[in-house]
Amino acid sequence: MSNLPNCPQCNSAYTYEDGDFLICPECAYEWTMHQVAENDDLIVKDANGNLLADGNSVSVIKDLKVKGSSTPLKQGTKVKNIRLVAGDHNIDCKIDGFGSMKLKSEFVKKLS
């Protein structure tokens, strides 16, 4: 059996290759090996300078406007099980009442 990485979305060990892509049969997530290498080098810090990692819990430090919603994301909202991604909005997460979102790490602080 080959040594393919687990799915970055659901952590399934049943990933398989299809051309240049890696595919997860459990959640249907597709990615490339290049994306896996980028995420290994990713260094993300919160507003206080603490290093963040996949699976951490964070808290929002200020009210944030949300596109498409009339209610803002309030200060102190707790976000569990974050996933770090490359880009301007470098945190992928799910927030109760809002759904899937991307946040900037400069607007969160790590919870212990």
Paired residues of 64 in beta bridges: 73
Higher pLDDT, 82 or 35: 82
DSSP result, 28-56: --EEEHHHHHHHHT--EE-TTS-EE-TT-
pLDDT band, residue 106 (cuts 50/70/90): very high
Q: Is a pLDDT exceeding 90 seen at residue 73?
A: yes
**CB–CB of 22/33 below 8 Å?**
yes
Residue 105: pLDDT band (50, 70, 90) is very high
DSSP 78-98: EE-S-EE-SSSS-EEEEETTT
